[in-house]
Structure 1
Amino acid sequence: MIFLLSLCVLGLLLQGDAQQDRAALWRGNDRSGRCQYTFTVPSPVEASCPQTGGPEVEGLKARLSLLEVLVARLSGGDTLQPARPQGSPNRAQPDLQEALNQAMGERNLLRGEKERLERELEGLQRRMEEMRRETERLRNRPCPPQTPMVQPNLALDRGSVRPAAGSNPMSHLMSRPNRQEDSSSLRDSAWQYGSPGFQELKAEVTEVPAPDGNEDSTGCGQLVSVGDPVTHRRADNIAGKYGVWMQDPEAVSPYGPSMVWRIDTVGTEVRQLFGYDDMEQLSKGFPSKVLLLPELVESTGATLYRGSLYYQRRRSRTLIRYDLSSESIAARRDLPHAGFHGQFPYSWGGYTDIDLSVDERGLWAVYSTSKAKGAIVISQLDPHSLQVKKSWETNVRKNSVANSFIICGKLYTVASYASRDTLINYMYDTETSQGKTVAIPFKNKYGYNSMVDYSPAQRKLFAWDNFHIVSYDLRLGRQQAA
């Protein structure tokens, strides 16, 4: 009996040793996260379990769940999205990306438009502020004192105008021009507050011969009289206090001979050229064409000739020919030694150093140089290249007269820009190279005449008088012998 018992025990031990190689110990976390040990021994009877899974599979599922969470977080997802069925394409993603790109593009366009509108608003605010300051300055400006007009006898000298005995010895200081370093916009001269008498250039008056029966009012001849001013329009805003208006005596297509042009010259950004079909449209204020000039305009010395606008470039002695048909610069050239930006202006100031004009004989420039010591220099220009063809030096100082114009090769000067009743007081003939004093009545109806030019197209004087566009009828006598 003991022997049989020992034999059984020995058999169990041997069987246990034979199956020991196939036993396994497994350790892992259960679903609640607690550590769990499992000891497995293969069954000698069953080839496979009736159910699938087991602790190993459950542990793998738990680990895979944790890995999915970690991968979702690393890829940028804050929350774990439901798993999509395997094999189903993500068709919504390209549509969403396209919609997002379109929305971003529209947002960028709106942002750019907003920035552009903000810049335009800032520009308009600056212009309003400048206009407000100009209005306040004009309101606070004192009125000129009402003193008796002083009419001293002055003798024309080549270098200066000397006051006669009894006149104020300091009056010549009132004609000192604006300095070049003054960077302000078009402003009234310092001497505008003085008596208009100081602006008159009085000299020995030579009588103008009366016209005879052979008077020719349509051809070239010496100026006999100037009619009363006729007002065509008043400027709309402060930018039109000073300006220039003109007609082309030899108009070129696409613009006809009745076309009228205008430039408002108050401000630091003067570049707009307004065109009107005729004088009626000018008086109504309805421009048919507005051109933006590529270079800024200096003062009121521009003119029109043969389809081109001629003007002085701001802060320079450069002359520009702007072709109206192509709307581009056709020529540019420096006027040799010419003063500019307040060196040799007319007596009213306004940086009127270079004054361009046109008559029956072509294109002219009226200016001065340091060599001429401020005396008026007349140059005839080539209208195509702007080159100087010939020059004449007069014996009257440019800053002692208010303005000038040229008719039939003769220069005429206006004594005062502010006196309501003044004179055309000097004439220089380029044919004879001789000058003399004259006394032809001239009216500044509105008390501040900043532009006077001869218009060969209408054979009238065009002027810009204190916001007002005016014209004057003329009478010309026969050519007088030298």
Structure 2
Amino acid sequence: MAGIVACVFLSCVTLINAQAQTAFLEYIQGRMGVLEDRISQWHDQSSRYSSELREFKNQVLKLLENIEKERDGLRNEMENTNIRVDRLEREVDYIETQNPAPSCVEVDEKLTELHIEKKKKNEKYAKLIDCSDTISQVNAMKILKRFGTTAGLWTKDPIGNSEKIYVFDGAGNDTLYIFNRMKEFTLSSSTRKASKIKLPFPWIGTGHVVYGGNLFYIRQGDEFQLIKFNLVNKTVVDSAVLPIEEQVPVYGLSKFNYIDIVADEEGLWAIYATKENEKNICLAKLDPNNLGIEQMWDTPCPIENAESAFVVCGSLYVVYNTKLPSRSRIQCVFDVSGTISSENVPVVYFPKRYGAHSSMKYNPKEKQIYAWDDGYQILYKLSMKPKEDLY
């Protein structure tokens, strides 16, 4: 009897296990089916994404090819433009050499040699002392040559009848080149025809000036010391540290200039800037005999984008440009007498040439500016008119 019961029990257990296994297998099959569906969906999406990625890659490649073609086209246009500009400049230079009217050098030499006798000395002296002129326009320009580095200075002594040309190459050096006449400097391809003077101290910047047989320049060093050097005796006559504290570069586009010594009809001036008034340019009247400061002014002329400046008849003219070289222009004027201001002075433009002027030295005797533009030495002839005509 017990055996029969055991057999029945085992049969029931076996039946239950078979049903459980069947259910488990059905569950596993269902999950596998779901996974297969998801894998199929992922495969379809992956194929679609790969196709879209290939299409996007092809589009990008086409765009890159078009950009490369456009860049080549722009490069060719730029090269053609540069060729046309160079040709135009050569034609302009040729016209200037053929036309004697705008020739600054020859005309000025004739003026100084032939017309001095026709004018009375008292009238010329009275006009310089009266000093009632202001700049009307740049009447003519002449490119003399290319000499030296991008920054430098060349000038003449406005006092006396000397025809010597003084050349300072670089914003920091100690060797001065002197040519006896303008033609020697213009026609010479090197410094062999020039006499040399090795200064006792190297200079800094391009703010030097030759005045009355003396060179006034700023010495390199911790202090901006003004040196007065006699060009005949080759000795230091005097020196002074100007009472100007915490100096900063005076021109935004010529960071090497801290003090710019200039000359006009009334004497010597110092153009500078300080941290106390670091946004605008300052002006001081100098005594050329003892290097003392007679008077100082704060001007409204900003330092930003200024490349150079000069003084004419007691008026400061600041020349501006941009970081990308364009046409230089006089955009701010400060008159120490208060007669004129920037508001009633027209903007005067200098012809666009090479870069930015590292120096512009006004010669009150010749009414010319000796400019150094990216290694090119240029003469600007100025037209003047009375200050009263501005009103």
Fold match (TM-score > 0.5): yes
Q: Structure 1 residues 411, 246: closer, same or farther in 2, change over 3 A?
A: same
Q: Gapped runs of 5+ residues in structure 1?
A: 1-142, 147-215
User: Which residue of structure 2 aligns with residue 244 of structure 1?
Assistant: 153
Q: Aligned partners of 1:220 and 1:463: how far apart in 2? A: 24
Q: Report deviation, 1:449.
A: 1.7
User: Which residue of structure 1 aligns with residue 232 of structure 2?
Assistant: 325
Deviates more, 1:277-286 or 1:351-360: 277-286
The correspondence for 1:428, drawn from 315, 323, 334, is 334
Q: For the Cα contact (< 8 Å) 1:217–1:477, is it kept in 2?
A: no
Aligned residue for 1:222, secondary structure, equals strand
Q: For the Cα contact (< 8 Å) 1:394–1:435, is it kept in 2?
A: no
Q: Aligned partners of 1:370 and 1:434: how far apart in 2? A: 27
Q: Structure 1 residues 273, 400: closer, same or farther in 2, change over 3 A?
A: same
CA distances 1:116-151 after superposition (whole Å, capped 9, x unpaired): xxxxxxxxxxxxxxxxxxxxxxxxxxx9xx9xxxxx
Cα RMSD over matched residues? 2.5
Q: Aligned partners of 1:433 and 1:405: how far apart in 2? A: 17
1:313 corresponds to 2:222: no
Q: What aligned pairs does 1:242-321 form with structure 2 within 5 A after superposition?
A: 242-251=151-160, 257-267=162-172, 270-285=173-188, 286-315=192-221, 316-321=223-228
TM-score w.r.t. length of structure 1? 0.50
Q: Report deviation, 1:349.
A: 2.8
Aligned residue for 2:328, secondary structure, equals strand
TM-score w.r.t. length of structure 2? 0.61
Q: For the Cα contact (< 8 Å) 2:249–2:273, is it kept in 1?
A: yes
Q: Report deviation, 1:416.
A: 0.6
Q: Aligned partners of 2:381 and 2:252: how far apart in 1? A: 24
Q: Aligned partners of 1:300 and 1:283: how far apart in 2? A: 21
Q: Aligned partners of 2:379 and 2:360: how far apart in 1? A: 9
Aligned residue for 2:215, secondary structure, equals strand
The correspondence for 2:363, drawn from 447, 455, 458, is 455
Aligned residue for 2:342, secondary structure, equals strand
User: Which residue of structure 2 aligns with residue 231 of structure 1?
Assistant: 143
AA of the residue aligned to 1:370: K
CA distances 1:392-420 after superposition (whole Å, capped 9, x unpaired): 11122224422111111111111116534
CA distances 1:217-275 after superposition (whole Å, capped 9, x unpaired): 9864111101343111211x5xx221011111114xxxx511110100145xx011111
Q: Aligned partners of 1:338 and 1:349: how far apart in 2? A: 20
User: Which residue of structure 1 aligns with residue 315 of structure 2?
Assistant: 410
1:392 corresponds to 2:300: no
Q: For the Cα contact (< 8 Å) 2:340–2:387, is it kept in 1?
A: no
Q: Structure 1 residues 346, 434: closer, same or farther in 2, change over 3 A?
A: same
Q: For the Cα contact (< 8 Å) 2:135–2:385, is it kept in 1?
A: yes
Q: For the Cα contact (< 8 Å) 1:381–1:387, is it kept in 2?
A: yes
User: Which residue of structure 2 aligns with residue 80 of structure 1?
Assistant: none
Q: Gapped runs of 5+ residues in structure 2?
A: 1-74, 79-125
Give 4+ residue runs of structure 1 displaced > 3 Å after superposition.
Answer: 216-220, 417-420
Q: For the Cα contact (< 8 Å) 2:339–2:387, is it kept in 1?
A: no
Q: Structure 1 residues 220, 248: closer, same or farther in 2, change over 3 A?
A: farther
User: Which residue of structure 1 aligns with residue 288 of structure 2?
Assistant: 383
- Answer 1 or 2: which has greater helix percent: 2
Q: Aligned partners of 2:295 and 2:171: how far apart in 1? A: 32
- Greater C-alpha radius of gyration: 1
Q: Structure 1 residues 351, 312: closer, same or farther in 2, change over 3 A?
A: same
AA of the residue aligned to 1:472: Y
AA of the residue aligned to 1:463: A
Aligned residue for 1:477, secondary structure, equals strand
Q: Aligned partners of 1:314 and 1:258: how far apart in 2? A: 29
Q: Aligned partners of 1:224 and 1:217: how far apart in 2? A: 17
Q: Aligned partners of 1:303 and 1:442: how far apart in 2? A: 22
Aligned residues: 258
Q: Report deviation, 1:300.
A: 0.6
Q: Aligned partners of 2:181 and 2:372: how far apart in 1? A: 18
1:367 corresponds to 2:306: no
CA distances 1:88-133 after superposition (whole Å, capped 9, x unpaired): xxxxxxxxxxxxxxxxxxxxxxxxxxxxxxxxxxxxxxxxxxxxxx
Q: For the Cα contact (< 8 Å) 1:261–1:275, is it kept in 2?
A: yes
Q: What aligned pairs does 1:143-292 form with structure 2 within 5 A after superposition?
A: 220-235=132-147, 237=148, 240-251=149-160, 257-267=162-172, 270-285=173-188, 286-292=192-198
Q: For the Cα contact (< 8 Å) 2:325–2:354, is it kept in 1?
A: no
Q: For the Cα contact (< 8 Å) 1:241–1:266, is it kept in 2?
A: no
Q: Aligned partners of 1:282 and 1:373: how far apart in 2? A: 38
